[in-house]
Amino acid sequence: MLLVDLLEVVLLAFFSFIFGWTVYNLPALLVGVRQLKRKAAAERPFGKGEAAFGLPFFSLIVPMKDEGRVAERILGALVRLDYPSDKYEVLVIEDGSVDETHDVCREYEGMCPGRIRVFHRESQPGKPSALNYALQFARGDVIGVFDADNLPEADVLRRAAEHFRSGEVVALQGLLSSINADQNMLTKFIHYENILQYSAFFAGRDRLGLFVPFAGTCQFIMRRVLEEVGGWSDVALAEDMELAARLTEKGYHVKFASDVRCLQENPSSFSQLAGQRARWFRGCMDVAVKYGRLLKRLERRSLDAEIFFSGPFMMVLFLLTYLLGLYAFFVPFNFGVYTGVLTQFTSFVTLFVLFLLGVGLAYASRPRRISNVKWLPFIYLYWTTQVFVAFYAFLQIVLRRPARWMRTLHTGVVTNH
């Protein structure tokens, strides 16, 4: 009897946390989906007749290691940006590559002297270190970061410049989409996940004045602000989220801009995806613990940031709830009144969230296709598998395993333009 009562209390606590966390995030999703319906009308082009002296100077940092399959693509795209060539520079940090990456980078440096600068390092300490190394050589008013597998749209700097011209924006996160969505079923799931995450959830959070994280690429920040907060953390697994948390602590915030767009390559195998997400989840958990002091500020964006960082912990709760539910299925167990009602409400809210995601998916897809809604059950199952990855990341923290930076392999496959 005591075991039954204990199980009842645990289930009630778990479902309370899950229900509260889900309901809390609903407004951002609602607003984001509503924004999707209006996005086409709200988007305005950048005035190309703007005098060059009114444009900020960008320093774009691109860390690379063994990126021979994609190096030429990203560098070619950056050279062809629709932005005055004397108003931006590209800093490539090449860390001990053993393929043709170094040769490709040097070739582009020779083609565009002064605009592309390549820095070779024999050490391989990871992306955050490369970013900090490049910062000391950057000349720009605004620092931008792109990954080697990216393909930014030609107007990415013009649109970013438009946001910074207001004087109110100090940090900006652009919209990421897939360059290899049709490679296989997994890349298709990740593609739709990105659509919902950026076009709906992040857009809604930005609209409500809530915390918006950096995503590691297609991100921009004023140089003076970046130097003020001390650059990137060399020891963080999720250096992008850690920097966003530090900005929030200093009273700054990251703006999400859906018109600043960039394509990226998604992992095409589950092993690559699991390694990438394990690093993300553990990095996010580390930030949640490190910046728990944000809860003391009693300020909306600070509190919301800590709730956002708790996401991987909530995924662990989801898994534990599944396991407890499985136990209750095989062992005769009657749910108490409160637990029964709460599980029904949680199920209803989950269905409502899936409905909103379906609407968002229909509106965000290009071209708009209602038939894309059929992917929702599979995407939900795909998300469910990630709770095991989050649990693995959680165990790594509990067991005090050393944090290791693992890069995602890029193949250069392009299926979407």
According to DSSP, residue 307 is labeled: H
Per-residue pLDDT tens over the stretch 185-203: 899 889 888 888 898 899 9
Can you give the pLDDT at residue 412? 87
Other Cβ atoms within 10 Å of 21 Cβ, number: 16
The Cα 228–Cα 359 span in angstroms is 41
Confidence grade of residue 216 (pLDDT, cut at 50, 70, 90): very high
Which of the two residues, 161 and 350, has the higher pLDDT score? 161
- For residues 349 and 203, membership in a common domain is answered with no
Q: Does residue 75 surpass a pLDDT of 80?
A: yes
For the ranges 53-57, 245-249, 403-407, the maximum mean pLDDT occurs at 245-249
Q: Is the pTM of this model over 0.75?
A: yes
The Cα 8–Cα 331 span in angstroms is 13
Q: Does residue 7 surpass a pLDDT of 80?
A: no
User: Is 177 in a helix, a strand, or coil?
Assistant: strand
Mean pLDDT within 217-234: 96
The Cα 153–Cα 98 span in angstroms is 29
Domain-terminating residue out of 296, 321, 354: 296
- For residues 244 and 323, membership in a common domain is answered with no
- Using DSSP bridges, classify how beta strands 171-178 and 255-264 pair: parallel, antiparallel or unpaired: parallel
45 upstream amide cis, omega within 30 of 0: no
Q: What is the dihedral of CA 184, 187, 191, 194, to 10 degrees?
A: 170
Can you give the pLDDT at residue 408? 81
Q: Does residue 18 surpass a pLDDT of 70?
A: yes
Can you give the pLDDT at residue 20? 85
Which ranges constitute the DSSP H helices of 138-222?
156-164, 185-194, 203-207
- For residues 193 and 233, membership in a common domain is answered with yes
Between vectors from CA 220 to CA 216 and to CA 223, what angle results, nearest 5°? 120
Average pLDDT of the residues of the chain = 86
Confidence grade of residue 4 (pLDDT, cut at 50, 70, 90): low
Can you give the pLDDT at residue 352? 75
Q: Is the residue at 416 inside a domain?
A: no
- For residues 135 and 268, membership in a common domain is answered with yes
Domain containing 68 equals 57-296
Mean pLDDT within 166-184: 93
> How far, CA to CA in Å, does 121 sit from each of 125, 136, 137?
10, 15, 14
- For residues 260 and 322, membership in a common domain is answered with no
- For residues 271 and 383, membership in a common domain is answered with no
- For residues 332 and 276, membership in a common domain is answered with no
Mean pLDDT within 262-270: 94
- For residues 11 and 94, membership in a common domain is answered with no
The Cα 227–Cα 216 span in angstroms is 18
- For residues 269 and 344, membership in a common domain is answered with no
Q: Using the structure block, give the residue that is written with the tokens 């020891």.
A: 235
Q: Does residue 53 surpass a pLDDT of 60?
A: no
Give percent of the chain above pLDDT 70: 85
Mean pLDDT within 94-116: 92
Domain-terminating residue out of 255, 273, 296: 296
- Using DSSP bridges, classify how beta strands 116-121 and 88-95 pair: parallel, antiparallel or unpaired: parallel
Domain count, the chain: 2
Q: Is the residue at 284 inside a domain?
A: yes
Q: Does residue 263 surpass a pLDDT of 70?
A: yes
Q: Does residue 183 surpass a pLDDT of 90?
A: yes
Mean pLDDT within 118-124: 86
Give percent of the chain above pLDDT 90: 55
Mean pLDDT within 10-21: 79
Orientation of helix 337-364 relative to helix 376-398, angle to 10°: 120
Q: Is the residue at 346 inside a domain?
A: yes
Mean pLDDT within 150-174: 95
Can you give the pLDDT at residue 227? 96
Q: Does residue 344 surpass a pLDDT of 80?
A: no
Can you give the pLDDT at residue 278? 93
Q: Does residue 41 surpass a pLDDT of 50?
A: no
Q: Is the residue at 46 inside a domain?
A: no
- For residues 207 and 352, membership in a common domain is answered with no
Q: Is the residue at 240 inside a domain?
A: yes
Burial class (CB in 10 A: 0-12, 13-18, 19+), 58: buried
Q: Is the residue at 127 inside a domain?
A: yes
Q: Does residue 2 surpass a pLDDT of 70?
A: no
Supply the CATH number for residue 249's domain: 3.90.550.10
According to DSSP, residue 201 is labeled: I
The contacts of residue 119 (CB under 8 Å, 6+ apart) are 91, 92, 93, 94, 133, 134, 137
Cβ(2)–Cβ(329) under 8 Å?
no
Can you give the pLDDT at residue 1? 52
Q: Does residue 34 surpass a pLDDT of 80?
A: yes
Q: Does residue 256 surpass a pLDDT of 80?
A: yes
Mean pLDDT within 282-287: 95
Can you give the pLDDT at residue 195? 85
Per-residue pLDDT tens over the stretch 127-160: 999 999 999 999 999 999 999 999 999 999 999 9
Q: Does residue 229 surpass a pLDDT of 80?
A: yes
Q: Is the residue at 93 inside a domain?
A: yes
Q: Does residue 318 surpass a pLDDT of 70?
A: yes
- For residues 275 and 203, membership in a common domain is answered with yes
The Cα 225–Cα 285 span in angstroms is 25
Which ranges constitute the DSSP H helices of 170-269?
185-194, 203-207, 223-229, 239-249
Burial code (b: 16+ CB inside 10 Å, e: under 16) for 91-130 equals bbbbbebeeebbebbebbbeebeeebbbbeeeeeebbbbb
Long-range pairs, 209-212, Cβ under 8 A, ≥24? 209/300, 209/301, 210/28, 210/300, 210/301, 210/304, 210/308, 211/244, 211/248, 211/253, 211/254, 211/301, 211/302, 211/304, 211/305, 211/308, 212/173, 212/244, 212/253, 212/254, 212/255, 212/256
Can you give the pLDDT at residue 140? 95
- For residues 179 and 310, membership in a common domain is answered with no
Which of the two residues, 335 and 77, has the higher pLDDT score? 77
Q: What are the strands, taking DSSP E only, across 112-207?
A: 116-121, 142-145, 151-152, 171-178
Q: Is the residue at 413 inside a domain?
A: no
Q: Does residue 40 surpass a pLDDT of 50?
A: no
Mean pLDDT within 120-126: 82
- Residue 90's DSSP bridge partners are 60, 116
Q: Does residue 291 surpass a pLDDT of 60?
A: yes
Residue among 331, 289, 337 at smallest CA distance from 309: 289
- Poorest-confidence range of 148-162, 252-266, 324-338? 324-338
